[in-house]
Amino acid sequence: MSLLQQQLYNPSSPLLQVRELERIYGRPCGECLEWTGPQYERNICPRCHSIVACGHISFDVFPGEILGIVGESGSGKSTLIKSLYFDETPTAGTIQLSCYEDGNTDLLNISSQKKRWVRNHLMGMVYQHAHQGLRLDFSCGGNIAEKLLTADHYHVGRIRERASDLLLRTEIPLDRMDDLPKHFSGGMQQRVQISKAMANNPPLLLLDEVTTGLDVSVQARVLDLIRQIQRELGVTMVVVSHDFAIIRMLTTRTMVMKNGRIVEKGLTDQILEDPQHEYSQLLINSMI
């Protein structure tokens, strides 16, 4: 666990707080949230045809925790995690990080410059598709250096040393450090992405469908790496997946999403063993 993470570690106080987050695409009529959701089996407003990707989303993530977000395609889970990383602009709601101004500031209301600072210093993101998180025409070391430079690390020797350490940790041979990720397999690209996301020891790591499209054996290695990083460094994580098997392996608490809403949340074991919502039951039964 890094010094910053040790200073932030207070298991009784959330690291991340999200309240009433909304993301609506289109020109909302003001009643979109009333006419969409799991009870209607739709996230498209029948009046104005706006798409409610996320509605009334509220949750906390505590230091050192891995929170899972699970749901089918179109449930809003990827929109949610991209909103946390400022890739998407929410329509309403608040996001607070305890490591930024003691958690007293809504991150959605700060300037673009300050959002970049938060993103570069306090967060890391691993995307489903490597081209979203990596510059495929930059070397592996160059990708890690880019993250470190944006986090105000400028010593070339230390950057090179940090890149070497991260690539070793993620099982990328050091003789490939100057190779381009576009020549790597999907699993290796994901491991380079993880190295880049972890470069500045962020308190919060976001992972969006990181094993989708990978072979089963490669998936297992990537998941083992994520668990190892969390165990050794105590990084707080939010993991998005459509697969309950991955959620079971990684997370302690889980939220189930459908049609842009949270339909159930609780301890992962509890949801897997005794799901209360019919949609959660359907997802779990499909996994068995």
pLDDT at 4: 46
The torsion defined by the Cα of 101, 104, 108 and 109, in degrees rounded to 10, comes to: -90
Q: Which helix (H) or strand (E) holds 140?
A: helix 140-150
Q: Looking at residue 93, what is its pLDDT?
A: 98
Could you give the percent of the chain with pLDDT greater than 70? 95
Confidence of residue 220 (pLDDT cuts 50, 70, 90): confident
Alpha carbon of 140 to those of 119, 137, 219: distances in Å? Answer: 20, 9, 20
Polymer length in residues for the chain:
288
Between CA 205 and CA 233 the distance in angstroms is 11
Mean pLDDT (the chain) is: 92
Assess whether pLDDT exceeds 60 at residue 3.
no
CATH class of 3-287: alpha beta
Confidence of residue 149 (pLDDT cuts 50, 70, 90): very high
From the list 149, 5, 20, 146, the residue with the least C-alpha distance to 83 is 20
Domain ranges within the chain, ordered by starting residue: 3-287
| Predicted local confidence at residue 288, as pLDDT | 59
Q: What is the pLDDT of residue 11?
A: 61
Task: Please report, for residues 92, 156, 181, 198, 252, the alpha-carbon distance to residue 88 in angstroms, rounded to integers and kept in the order given.
Answer: 12, 33, 26, 21, 26
pLDDT in tens, 102-142: 999 999 999 999 999 999 999 999 999 989 999 999 999 99
- Ranges 8-12, 29-33, 44-48, 215-219: which has the least confidence: 8-12
Region 263-277 average pLDDT: 95
Worst-scoring range by mean pLDDT, 9-13, 32-36, 103-107, 150-154? 9-13
Q: Which of 4, 1, 54 is nearest to 24 (CA)?
A: 54
User: Quick check: 209 pLDDT over 70?
Assistant: yes
Res 235: pLDDT: 93
